[in-house]
Amino acid sequence: MSFSRKMVAVFGAVTAAGVALLAMPRGAASRAAQGNEPTPAYHSEVPPGALPQTMDSAAFDNPIVQNAYALAAKVKRVLYQQPCFCHCDRSIGHESLLDCYVGKHASVCDVCMREALYAYEQTMKKKTAAQIRDGILHGEWQQVDTSKYQTFPAKR
């Protein structure tokens, strides 16, 4: 193979790799601190303009679900910047934790609810979205005590 053909082949391979990286959802290329699996999709910053509305908490009977949806609505900008470790990005195409609350998905998913409650609690402690994401990546959301959300509205 001539030198010029080798250069064209190398250039093509590098270009293909670059396009593949650009096609990945934001955050998906990094590794979770919990293991070797890719971090689920999330956005690293909030876009200009409005974000989608979360479902109304009144649509649900379970007080923990009601609280999760009500509090998610208060921290939409933070949830938009968080991954969801139920891996709904793979199964239903979600791009961040906020997507779980736009529909009914979070109402039947303990992971989504705990992550959103964790994000809300950390936001109230003045943590940034990046700091909250770091906590989620380290599994801190798993320690959320949902018993304090068993009455609606929750006493915070």
Maximum C-alpha span of the chain: 74
Mean pLDDT of 30-50: 75
Query: Contact at 8 Å (CB) between 72 and 82?
Result: no
Q: Measure CA 131 to chain center.
A: 13
User: 118: closest CA among 106, 108, 104?
Assistant: 106
Mean pLDDT of 135-150: 95
Q: What pTM does this model have?
A: 0.76
Query: Worst-scoring range by mean pLDDT, 5-9, 67-71, 132-136, 150-154?
Result: 5-9
pLDDT of 24 strictly over 50: no
Task: Give the pLDDT band (50/70/90) at residue 16.
Answer: very low
